Amino acid sequence: MSSSKTKLRAINDLIKKQKFDEAAEEAKQFLEKESKNYQGHIFLAFAQDKRNDLEEAERVYLAATSLRPGDAQAWQGLVKYEKVGTKKLGPYQHAVVNLARIFHEADELYKSQDVVDKYLDYVRVHGDKVQYADALWIQLPESPLYPLLEGRFPPPGQTYDRVAGILEEFEKKRINTLIGERRTRLGAKLSEVTLEVKREVYGQSKLEGIYRQLINWTRDDDIRRQYEEKLIHHCYERMLVQPPGEAKDQERQKVLGLANDMVVINHPYKLAWEIAINWQDKQEIKDFNVELLRGYCNFFPDTDLYKIITAFLTSTLSPFPEPEPENGRKSSIAKASDDSEDDDEGGVPTFVVPLTHEERLSMLVEGVSTLDSIFGYRLAGQLFVHFGEYESTVEFMRKAQDLLKKEQAALGCEFKNTRDSYLLSLGTALVYFQSPRHHAEAKALFEKVLDHDGTSTFALIGVGLIYEEEEEYDQAIDFFGRALERDPLNVRVKSESAWVKALKKEWEQAKAELQECLGILEDNPSKDLLADTQYRLGVCIWNLEPSQQERKRRKGDSAYSYWLSALNNNLNHAPSYTSLGIFYADYAKDKKRARRCFQKALEISPSEVVAAERLARSFAKDGDWDRVELVAQRIVDSGKVKPLQAQRGKALAGHLQLLVLQS
């Protein structure tokens, strides 16, 4: 033992005299005999360090740490990694963690913090930004030093914020750099290169974890919300570039969960709200949460989707009840508009709420022109059909199908119900637009839906409507009969089947069936279907009572009373205005009121050819040929008929143009 101490003193003397070569040689010889001697390792490592043999010094210091892990000397030697530059920042950090822990156990807190600060300063000055972000880990809660020096470290939220900023800038630059490099390859496509690069960078990204930790640790609610937005945006972008498969499905569910969490707390981040709305694929619109739709409109009144949702919710097509009053006025977009107050910074968005059919249609057209929402197109298609704007329906449903294909590829979702909704709206419009030119295509669309949903009400009605428009009434009745066998409780199909019998002039049978439907519909929230049924029942009664005295009746079970009831349930029911116009013109002898009814019918639906003809004749008698021409052009533009084409007695537009020529 005394011999070992003597040799160690001799080696120490050589070191003091700066004879490092001799000291190293003596230390090696000593360790050959006493390989477990801790002090011998320290002397050898120190001498090698002074000889600038840094790799050998590191090896020996590490060997010493395994002999005495809790001793500071070896770790103090290792923190000299800064001599080798930034090549070994990882081992440097490991040494700092161990040395700081040892100082803390010795109750030397200043030294413990100092060794950490020196390490961070070194990396900040000599390393790059990403290396500095990695170095800052030592101050974060997942570091073993955090519980020891928590009071001496910056708040975790502040450190995570610095790390996030560094990594965001790095990833953005790396994506741009790699795209710039790889797009010059032979045959490279920019879209494919971008996808490849983003998939690579996002796959290696640490930002999601950083964002989540920052959200948990920050004390500032504004910063928390800011990083919740960044988290969902980052996860969304990463999901988009994932190839189809289980991983993409998991990422999509994660993004949807984050979006729904934001919606629940009413945080106005548009991406989250649009994900929460657009990624749903409910079978029917009534299955959506109307409060979600109203909440979106309250937060984002300047968007295209706001216009579409607002037009829908304020129309008779909406299946949702009116919102409850709040503080003496309606709390949602259905009623609120002009009473919003300006804030201190110059005002808030104005809620524009359509009050008339024309305003609603105008808002719809404005919103759909630059729309990029698959849910918005779903509403738009139903609204255009409802308004009788069949050409617009065809145009925008074809655009909607293109958008849906892109979304299906990007999200890895089928969106079966959304696709069916597009097909049904498009098919219904094609039944009436330039009829019967597109009937084959319309029928194919309906059958595509029926292939996987044999009880689809609107697809069943759609095929029947084609037969109805082609005046193949027996086939229409047969088809509706088969539809009722599949779905005997479907009152909409029952009503349509009865109407076809009315078109066959089987008035008594049609009346009985429509009255049966009316009894069912009295407790049904579908005001549109109720209005249709009341109008049709009125038509049956009108034809069953051909005498002038009977048709003049306004009270009791009369055609007039049913048409008025139809308008009470749907103020924009165009056929009822046409029928009332005929009543006033031919039986009540009220030409002024008749003209107003015909005008209203044509304003609501350009497909009301009878109203158009009556109105044109009225203008022609007054010599108002400009208005005659306007009426004719409106009918031609509707696509319902073609100019100067006599087909199935519906060539009104051509007839009206002839009236103009006769002037």
Q: What is the pLDDT of residues 354-396, one digit of tens each?
A: 778 889 999 999 999 999 999 999 999 999 998 889 999 999 9
Does residue 287 carry a pLDDT above 80?
yes
User: Length of the chain, please?
Assistant: 663
Q: Is the pLDDT of residue 302 over 80?
A: yes
Residues 6+ apart with CB under 8 A from 622: none
pLDDT value of position 638: 61
Helix (H) or strand (E) holding 330: strand 329-330
**CA dist., res. 308 & res. 352, Å (int):** 12
Q: Residue 115 pLDDT > 70, yes or no?
A: yes
Tell me whether the omega of the peptide bond preceding residue 301 falls within 30 degrees of 0, making it cis: no
The pLDDT-based confidence of 655 (bands split at 50, 70, 90) is very low
The CA distances from residue 624 to 478, 515, 557, in Å, are 47, 43, 38
CA of residue 548 relative to chain centroid, distance: 58
pLDDT at 517 > cutoff 60: yes
Nearest CA among 213, 280, 203, 185 for reference residue 239: 203
Q: What is the pLDDT of residues 626-646, one digit of tens each?
A: 888 888 887 776 655 544 433
Tokens for 303?
């968007």
Percentage of the chain exceeding pLDDT 70? 90
Average pLDDT taken over every residue of the chain: 88
The predicted model gives 541-567 an average pLDDT of: 92
| Structure confidence by residue, pLDDT tens digits, 55-114 | 899 999 999 999 999 999 999 998 887 777 788 899 999 999 999 999 999 999 999 999
Numbers of helices and strands, H then E, in the chain? 34, 2
Residues 143-161 have a mean pLDDT of: 95
Q: Are 205 and 212 in contact (CB under 8 A)?
A: no
Phi first, then psi: what are they for 326, rounded to 5°?
Answer: -135, 120
Query: Kind and range of the H or E element at 246?
Result: helix 246-264
